[in-house]
């Protein structure tokens, strides 16, 4: 349980500092895209360090890390209009996805149901990040017999 809390805390710290770094770097062209890619690499390193955990623990980490954003996304998809949340849920979800906004703005595409493709990419971000974390936290087994060896 302590491992789960530590890993979720590190993911939240990465998320917070990525938000601040990308927000400040948005004044310099190209720097925000570079930092978004760096955010992906940091999440990958964190996921790779979780390889020794059970799958159940990894799923708990993902739910605690991306759960709030997933709830906001479900609220937007369901059309829930409950006062405060109906107007602020898109903003809060975009705030949550700030480390990826620089990459998501590249998806300027057609309108789907009156909303741009960017909107649906932001809603899918928690699921995609959770899937990304899960895939990278699975240990890869390399067979030694197929490896290339030096002749000397």
For residue range 52-101, list pLDDT tens digits in order: 888 899 999 999 999 988 888 888 887 776 666 667 777 888 888 888 88
**Quick check: 4 and 57 in contact, CB under 8 A?**
yes
Residue 152: its pLDDT value, please? 45
How far CA 125 is from CA of 58, 97, 130, 134, in Å, comes to 18, 7, 8, 14
Query: Where do runs of H (alpha helix) occur along 1-152?
Result: 2-25, 31-48, 55-78, 84-96, 98-104, 117-137
Residue 5: its pLDDT value, please? 92
1: helix, strand or coil: coil
Give me the mean pLDDT over the 2-10 stretch. 91
Query: What is this structure's pTM?
Result: 0.80
Nearby residues of 95 by Cβ (< 8 Å), 6 or more positions away: 19
Q: Distance between CA 112 and CA 79 in Å, rounded?
A: 15
> pLDDT at residue 144 above 50?
no
């Amino acid at each position: 349980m302590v491992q789960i809390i530590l890993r979720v805390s590190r993911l939240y710290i990465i998320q917070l500092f990525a938000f601040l770094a990308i927000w400040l770097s948005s004044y310099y062209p190209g720097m925000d895209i570079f930092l978004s890619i760096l955010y992906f690499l940091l999440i990958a390193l964190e996921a790779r360090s979780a390889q020794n955990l059970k799958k159940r623990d990894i799923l708990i980490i993902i739910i605690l890390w991306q759960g709030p954003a997933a709830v906001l996304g479900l609220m937007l998809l369901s059309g829930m209009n409950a006062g405060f949340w109906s107007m602020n849920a898109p903003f809060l979800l975009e705030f949550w996805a700030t480390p990826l906004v620089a990459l998501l703005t590249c998806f300027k595409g057609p309108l789907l149901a009156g909303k741009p493709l960017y909107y649906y990419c932001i809603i899918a971000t928690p699921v995609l990040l959770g899937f990304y974390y899960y895939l990278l936290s699975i240990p890869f087994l390399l067979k030694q017999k197929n490896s290339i060896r030096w002749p000397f």
